[in-house]
């Protein structure tokens, strides 16, 4: 039996009296991420059924406001309800919403589709935020530095399980039950959370103070943000989250555009070899690719489907090429299928390596790194990496380098950075965990996303700046924010260490 507990401690970092809590929380995170990744593909497929995919960047502009509304409603109840009871009620309401959408979505319609898209995009941010807030209450800093890497591993496994389950359901006769399965899975999260609380020593779900019950404080959006800004500790976390969201969006815009360009060129050379060869005989080609011909074929997808063949025929006549428009349009359809397959395969491969490398870091690197270097040094690794990446992406890079950049950033973000950031809340109070944390993980993070998207629209669509200049301006803005992020991470890491030492000293004096 002693060897069994030794194995548990080796794998999880949990001591004997913490093992039940650690395994329960591990399963809660795994199931919560599974329930979300069951819905993520469904959300996108339903949106594409009713809207053009290019409209997503404009829909994104509304998400911070909707996320803020969700957070405001939660905070209203937080001032009036015992916190752990509130978590259970919040999850139950989300489960009811999933069942309602399952019943209503088959009726179709753009309004219902938008409601589902916005709700699915923002509800999970609140769900995961308050679960991690609860975890930060269940474990102290010393235990968190041993156990949180294992818990983060549960979240990564949940994303893999949910993605696999979503694919399996989509290919089965039960594809219409995806929302129900997600709701039931979320119910299981509550069961494991209750089990973790049962094994938490001295756990009591304290109600709000009597004065709060009699007259709950009136919080406005600006007052919440102002109070967040005034509290140095949580402000630093907010800066980290905002900057990460902004820079991630900038890197994604750049990498996705370039990846699409490289893969489209490969598909073009395969399916339009004859066209490309004919154009290169009469005109100059760089690296064996006729630039105008490639751009014409690549951008044909922007034309209405019923007008593509006519546009292709007109262009072939202008180029004085003796090629059949019908055959070239057939080649375009094959080109599109090939490009879709290449893109899906490439991105799936990137996600595989992010998850594999992330799990290896969490299993073998995170715990000894937190123990030997401390939270402060772990927190600054991702901003340092992104400073190097931002400078690199100011210049043209190849496809393999883009893939390496995306894998490196994703791996560090979902493993070391996520674990260290959540550890910061173990030295925060309940207001920071359950009032300000949802505000940071929801509206503040989405504000970072939408700020990058808004600047992209401003530079590219309104000011009509060249694409390369737009990319450079966004990257420079990202580098500036990342520098602020680095300073904030360094300072909050120092404060975390001081608070942890004070806590340890107080525990020793009591003993």
Question: Quick one: 268 and 186 in the same domain?
Answer: no
pLDDT tens digits for 254-309?
888 888 889 989 999 999 998 988 888 877 787 788 888 898 998 888 788 788 88
Question: Quick one: 161 and 300 in the same domain?
Answer: no
Contact 131, 28 (CB under 8 A): yes
Q: pTM for this structure?
A: 0.87
Residue 417 resides in a domain: no
Residue 98 resides in a domain: yes
Tell me, what's the pLDDT at 412? 95
The gap from C-alpha 249 to its chain's centroid, in whole angstroms, comes to 10
Question: Quick one: 100 and 179 in the same domain?
Answer: yes
Residue 172 resides in a domain: yes
- Which tops the pLDDT comparison, 53 or 102? 102
DSSP letters spanning 25-78:
HHHHHHHHHHHHHHHHHHHHHHHHHHS-GGGHHHHGGGHHHHHHHHHHHHHHHH
Rounded CA gap, 376 and 416, in Å? 11
Question: Quick one: 168 and 278 in the same domain?
Answer: no
Which structural domain range is residue 141 located in? 1-219
Tell me, what's the pLDDT at 214? 46
pLDDT tens digits for 45-73?
777 667 755 566 677 778 888 888 888 88
Contact 144, 17 (CB under 8 A): no
pLDDT tens digits for 453-494?
889 889 988 899 998 999 999 999 999 999 999 999 999 999
Distances (CA, A) of 48 to 53, 167, 180, 260, 308: 6, 17, 22, 19, 20
Residue 365 resides in a domain: no
Residue 183 resides in a domain: yes
* Three-state secondary-structure class, residue 289: strand
Q: Give the percent of the chain with pLDDT over 90.
A: 48
Overall number of domains in the chain? 2
What does residue 286 show for φ and ψ, rounded to 5 degrees?
-100, 125
Contact 28, 146 (CB under 8 A): no
Residue 437 resides in a domain: no
Question: Quick one: 290 and 188 in the same domain?
Answer: no
Q: What is the 3-state secondary structure (H, E, C) of 335-356?
A: HHHHHHHHHHHHHHHHHHHHHH
Rounded CA gap, 419 and 424, in Å? 9
Confidence at 352, pLDDT banded by 50, 70, 90: confident
Question: Quick one: 268 and 206 in the same domain?
Answer: no
Structure tokens at 132: 């991690």
Confidence at 96, pLDDT banded by 50, 70, 90: very high
Residue finishing a domain among 219, 254, 288: 219
Q: What is the 3-state secondary structure (H, E, C) of 186-252?
A: HHHHHHHHHHHHHCCCCCCCCCCCHHHHHCCCCCCHHHHHHHHHHCHHHHHHHHHHHHHHHHHHHHH
DSSP letters spanning 74-143:
HHHHHTTS-HHHHHHHHHHHHHHHHHHHHHHGGG--HHHHHHHHHHHHHHHHHHHHHHHHHHHHHS-HHH
Residue 56 resides in a domain: yes
Q: Give the percent of the chain with pLDDT over 70.
A: 93
Average pLDDT, the chain: 87
pLDDT tens digits for 171-230?
788 888 999 999 999 999 999 999 999 888 876 666 665 544 444 455 566 788 888 999
Question: Quick one: 155 and 273 in the same domain?
Answer: no
Rounded CA gap, 66 and 45, in Å? 21
Residue 73 resides in a domain: yes
Question: Quick one: 177 and 29 in the same domain?
Answer: yes
Question: Quick one: 24 and 161 in the same domain?
Answer: yes
DSSP 8-class letter at 425: G
Question: Quick one: 5 and 116 in the same domain?
Answer: yes
Q: How many C-beta atoms surround the C-beta of residue 332 within 10 A?
A: 19
Give, in degrees to the nearest 5, the angle at Cα 476 between 470 and 479: 140
Tell me, what's the pLDDT at 35? 95
Residue finishing a domain among 290, 318, 335: 335
The residues, any chain, with a CB within 8 Å of residue 344's CB and separated by 6 or more, are none
Rounded CA gap, 329 and 5, in Å? 65
Question: Quick one: 203 and 287 in the same domain?
Answer: no
Contact 309, 329 (CB under 8 A): yes
Containing 368, the helix (H) or strand (E) segment is: helix 366-372
- Helix, strand, coil shares of the chain, percent, nearest 5, are 85, 0, 15
Tell me, what's the pLDDT at 320? 84
- Which tops the pLDDT comparison, 145 or 43? 145
Contact 333, 271 (CB under 8 A): no
Residue finishing a domain among 157, 187, 219: 219
Question: Quick one: 6 and 139 in the same domain?
Answer: yes
Rounded CA gap, 506 and 511, in Å? 9
């Amino acid at each position: 039996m002693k060897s069994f507990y030794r194995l548990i401690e080796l794998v999880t970092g949990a001591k004997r009296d913490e093992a039940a809590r650690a395994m329960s929380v591990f399963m809660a995170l795994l199931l919560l991420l599974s329930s979300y990744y069951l819905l993520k593909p469904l959300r996108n497929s339903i949106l594409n059924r009713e809207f053009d995919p290019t409209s997503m960047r404009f829909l994104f502009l509304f998400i911070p406001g909707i996320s803020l509304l969700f957070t405001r409603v939660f905070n209203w109840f937080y001032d009036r309800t015992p916190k752990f009871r509130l978590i259970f009620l919040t999850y139950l309401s989300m489960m009811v919403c999933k069942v309602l959408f399952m019943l209503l979505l088959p009726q179709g319609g753009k309004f219902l589709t938008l409601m589902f898209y916005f709700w699915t995009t923002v509800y999970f941010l609140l769900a995961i935020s308050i679960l991690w807030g609860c975890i930060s209450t269940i474990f102290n800093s010393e235990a968190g530095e041993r156990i949180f890497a294992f818990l983060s591993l549960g979240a990564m496994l949940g994303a893999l399980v949910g993605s696999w389950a979503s694919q399996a359901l989509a290919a089965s006769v039960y594809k219409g039950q995806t929302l129900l399965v997600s709701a039931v899975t979320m119910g299981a999260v509550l069961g494991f959370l209750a089990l973790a609380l049962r094994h938490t020593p001295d756990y009591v779900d304290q109600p709000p103070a009597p004065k709060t019950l009699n007259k709950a404080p009136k919080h406005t959006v600006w007052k919440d943000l102002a109070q967040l800004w005034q509290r140095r500790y949580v402000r630093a976390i907010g800066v980290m989250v905002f900057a990460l969201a902004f820079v991630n969006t900038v890197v994604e815009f750049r990498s996705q555009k370039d990846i699409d360009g490289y893969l489209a060129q490969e598909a073009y050379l395969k399916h339009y070899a004859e066209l490309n060869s004919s154009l290169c005989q009469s005109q100059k080609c760089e690296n064996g690719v006729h630039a105008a011909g490639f751009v014409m074929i690549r951008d044909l997808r922007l034309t209405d489907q019923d007008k593509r063949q006519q546009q292709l025929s007109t262009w072939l006549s202008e180029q004085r090429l003796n090629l059949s428009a019908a055959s070239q349009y057939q080649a375009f359809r094959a080109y599109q299928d090939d490009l879709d397959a290449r893109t899906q395969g490439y991105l799936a491969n990137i996600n595989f390596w992010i998850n594999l490398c992330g799990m290896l870091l969490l299993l073998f690197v995170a715990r000894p790194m937190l123990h030997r270097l401390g939270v402060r040094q772990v927190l600054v690794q991702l901003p340092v990496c992104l400073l190097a990446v931002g400078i690199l992406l100011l210049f043209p890079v190849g496809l393999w380098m883009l893939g390496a950049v995306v894998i490196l950033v994703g791996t560090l973000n979902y493993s070391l950075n996520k674990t260290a950031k959540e550890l910061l809340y173990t030295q925060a109070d309940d207001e920071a965990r359950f009032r300000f944390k949802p505000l940071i993980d929801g509206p503040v993070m989405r504000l970072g996303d939408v700020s990058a998207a808004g600047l992209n629209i401003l530079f590219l669509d309104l000011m009509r700046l060249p694409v390369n200049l737009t990319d450079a301006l966004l990257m420079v803005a990202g580098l500036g924010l990342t520098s602020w992020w680095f300073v904030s991470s360094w300072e909050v890491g120092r404060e975390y260490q001081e608070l942890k030492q004070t806590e340890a000293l107080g525990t020793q004096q009591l003993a």
